[in-house]
Structure 1
């Protein structure tokens, strides 16, 4: 049984260590990503996703990125990259820190070679001194009939592709952590409103935190020349009536609390009102163009604002009052700031002035820090790959009276560069010998 188990493990290992497996998984990911790009996703545009074809919804095409299948494919790709990286690690480590010395002329790189002749001791001294002067790391060994050595420059470049592969693993893991443990949502609120973090409209994920959000002020600031400055929201984090944090956020200047980030998404003009009923005065904020409504307590009357003239000095609003499910308003009117209207002898409505209505996106993504680490690894891998391309030159000096130095360079993908470096070294050695 143990032999069968080991055989199965070897088969699975061979599958995940195959480049073909990686290419197939990348192809599937590209196909699924194409579907997610062409078909609106619930996590990005809920309204468009709802209007998508019922067939697409049934097949799960409107939430492909959050599906178990897509996450499974990403996980399999991570496994494939990890297995390939594990297999390559030993070779890269030995190539960087424990290069194999040539034991005979036949073990030198054959594609790019050159020879230099001279007296044995002088040839050895000049060669070793020159490599060190040119910034090479030299590993040498003396045998009875020859000296063998390996000279390395930019040996850290060997790790470039390895770090690039590792970075993709970290990036995928960061994306998975964010999609599985975070959330993304939206809410709209007026000045003075307070709501629980659980009341926001979620596009994905689940809220596990527990606190309230209070909107202290909302402002659409204008510059002296009449151009818009920015939208500003003064927001407090509340818990058990105690203010835990407070900050003013604006477009491109979010506010983060315990890993939850609030982004200024939009601004809508609104009006502040006071509803007076049975001796009780209730402050409310209504959004322009019927963005929200208020039901008067103990009645089936609903108030909306249909239009606003946002003049800071003389604001004017148009309001409508509906009763029950009636499609026609039972009352509509125009009010200036400070004006009060009596509605059906039931309650009084006073327009107190303009009030902003803010729209905020809320996002928690624990995978962001992991993604940043992956991005840093990717950048480091690319820098090592493109700007620190390793050069490895092996050589053997035969201990004859007229010794021969045979040099061979590993060409890799840039054969011309290896040839240039080898010719340069050989030429400098000859010049030193002639001096």
Structure 2
């Protein structure tokens, strides 16, 4: 039974350690992501996603990136990258920190190869060590009967470039999965002066676990003296247990973060503040231009909307409409400070222009992991392309051959050999130029 289990584990390991498996998974993820750009997604285009055929909705193609099977695909890709990285770790470590000098001349690289001779073997050996050290190489030596063997490395950390890059992809996927499973994404459109429980915002993904209030102190569409728009500004407060625990004036690219939840300024809509009196009770009401929201007068079936607005900051004018459940019952125009009676015990006063702010609200517990993965990805690319390792190996006979000692050496080439030949030639030239080295 144990041998059978070991055999199954080995087969699974072989599958996930295969580069072919990784390429197939990458291809599937790329294909699915491509479909996600063609099929409307619920989080970006709810109306378009709703118009898609039911079969695509059932298969999850209108919410691909949050679907369990897409996350399963990313998990498989993660496992593949981890297994491949574990399998390569030992070899890269030995190559970087425990290199073994070649034992025989046949083990020397032949593509970039040269020989240096000298009548003084000890001097040639010392000269070689000095030249390599001067050029920044770390030399590992081996002396055995009849020969001196060495391998020298420069930019050893460059060996880890592809390894770090693979690990960074694993971390990026893990961060994305944590953010998708543990966070949420939502939207809040609220008027000036409103207080909204965080649990009541419109959620497009995930679930809100916190419980505090969001107060919109003021909203401004700031215009510069030259007529150009400066920015949208929202003075935002966080209320918890009846106390203001955070406050900031946010704008585009300047969000507020509280308990890991970030509020981004996304949009602005003009609106108006009304003082509504119904049966002796007063209600401050903020209505959005264009009928974006309504006010249902308590104890009545009447709904008040602001259908249009002249947004002149000096002389704002609004057009209002009142509906019952079946038809329009009243329509009128109000200037700043003007009062209109809707019914006997129901009147409205236009107090001032008051904007509506559109906020994207997002919690992503995996964001710091994504940033870590991004940093490692940059490090891996820098090591791979700008810190390429160079390895030079050599064998020198300690016994004279034709009254001279001979040093045979060569440079290893990988996928990228740009500059290695020039580096190697400069080493050989200095070894042959005895005067230059001994200065």
TM bracket (short chain): over 0.9
The question of whether the paired residues in 2 share the 8 Å contact of 1:140 and 1:148 is answered with yes
CA shift for structure 1 position 237? 0.6
- Residue of structure 2 equivalent to 1:104: 104
Please list the CA deviations of residues 162-220 of structure 1 after superposition, one character each: whole Å capped at 9, or x if unmatched.
10000000011111111110100001111111111110111100111111111111111
- Residue of structure 2 equivalent to 1:322: 323
Higher mean Cα deviation, 86-95 or 234-243?
A: 234-243
Q: Secondary structure at the match of 1:64?
A: helix
Where structure 1 has 5 or more consecutive residues not aligned to the other structure, the ranges are none
- Residue of structure 2 equivalent to 1:267: 268
The question of whether the paired residues in 2 share the 8 Å contact of 1:182 and 1:364 is answered with yes
- Residue of structure 1 equivalent to 2:363: 364
CA distance in 2, matches of 1:192, 1:120: 89
Q: Is the alpha carbon distance of 1:385 and 1:313 closer, same or farther for their aligned partners in structure 2, counting shifts above 3 Å?
A: same
- Residue of structure 2 equivalent to 1:334: 333
- Residue of structure 2 equivalent to 1:295: 296
Verify: 1:252 aligned to 2:253, yes or no: yes
Pairing 1:21-100 to 2, within 5 Å after superposition:
21-100=21-100
Q: Secondary structure at the match of 2:4?
A: helix
The question of whether the paired residues in 1 share the 8 Å contact of 2:171 and 2:372 is answered with yes
Q: Is the alpha carbon distance of 1:278 and 1:416 closer, same or farther for their aligned partners in structure 2, counting shifts above 3 Å?
A: closer
Q: Secondary structure at the match of 2:219?
A: strand
Moved over 6 A (4+): none
CA shift for structure 1 position 53? 2.8
Verify: 1:352 aligned to 2:356, yes or no: no
Q: Secondary structure at the match of 2:117?
A: strand
The question of whether the paired residues in 1 share the 8 Å contact of 2:100 and 2:140 is answered with no
Pairing 1:30-429 to 2, within 5 Å after superposition:
30-118=30-118, 119-324=120-325, 326=326, 328-401=327-400, 402-415=404-417, 417-429=419-431
Please list the CA deviations of residues 89-113 of structure 1 after superposition, one character each: whole Å capped at 9, or x if unmatched.
0011001100011112122223322
Where structure 2 has 5 or more consecutive residues not aligned to the other structure, the ranges are none
Q: Secondary structure at the match of 2:344?
A: coil
Please list the CA deviations of residues 42-64 of structure 1 after superposition, one character each: whole Å capped at 9, or x if unmatched.
12222322232333212211011
The question of whether the paired residues in 2 share the 8 Å contact of 1:217 and 1:233 is answered with yes
CA distance in 2, matches of 1:88, 1:189: 54
CA distance in 2, matches of 1:415, 1:254: 47
Q: Secondary structure at the match of 2:385?
A: helix
Q: Secondary structure at the match of 1:48?
A: helix
The question of whether the paired residues in 2 share the 8 Å contact of 1:126 and 1:433 is answered with no
CA distance in 2, matches of 1:55, 1:157: 49
Q: Secondary structure at the match of 1:173?
A: helix
Q: Secondary structure at the match of 1:164?
A: helix
CA distance in 1, matches of 2:257, 2:207: 18
- Residue of structure 1 equivalent to 2:6: 6
CA distance in 2, matches of 1:433, 1:348: 104
CA shift for structure 1 position 433? 6.7
**Of 406, 423, 432, the match for 1:430:** 432
**TM-score normalized by structure 1?**
0.97
Q: Secondary structure at the match of 1:126?
A: helix
Q: Secondary structure at the match of 1:289?
A: coil
Higher mean Cα deviation, 14-23 or 277-286?
A: 277-286
The question of whether the paired residues in 2 share the 8 Å contact of 1:46 and 1:203 is answered with no
CA distance in 2, matches of 1:360, 1:129: 65
CA distance in 2, matches of 1:36, 1:68: 14
**TM-score normalized by structure 2?**
0.96
**Count of aligned pairs:** 433
Please list the CA deviations of residues 341-385 of structure 1 after superposition, one character each: whole Å capped at 9, or x if unmatched.
111223011111111111111001111100100011010111111
Q: Secondary structure at the match of 2:361?
A: strand
CA shift for structure 1 position 416? 5.3
CA shift for structure 1 position 134? 1.1
CA distance in 2, matches of 1:108, 1:136: 18
CA distance in 1, matches of 2:168, 2:331: 62
Q: Is the alpha carbon distance of 1:55 and 1:144 closer, same or farther for their aligned partners in structure 2, counting shifts above 3 Å?
A: same
The question of whether the paired residues in 2 share the 8 Å contact of 1:261 and 1:362 is answered with yes
CA distance in 2, matches of 1:310, 1:151: 75
CA distance in 2, matches of 1:335, 1:414: 75
Please list the CA deviations of residues 104-152 of structure 1 after superposition, one character each: whole Å capped at 9, or x if unmatched.
2122223322111112111111111111111111111221201111111
CA distance in 1, matches of 2:354, 2:334: 15
Q: Secondary structure at the match of 2:270?
A: strand
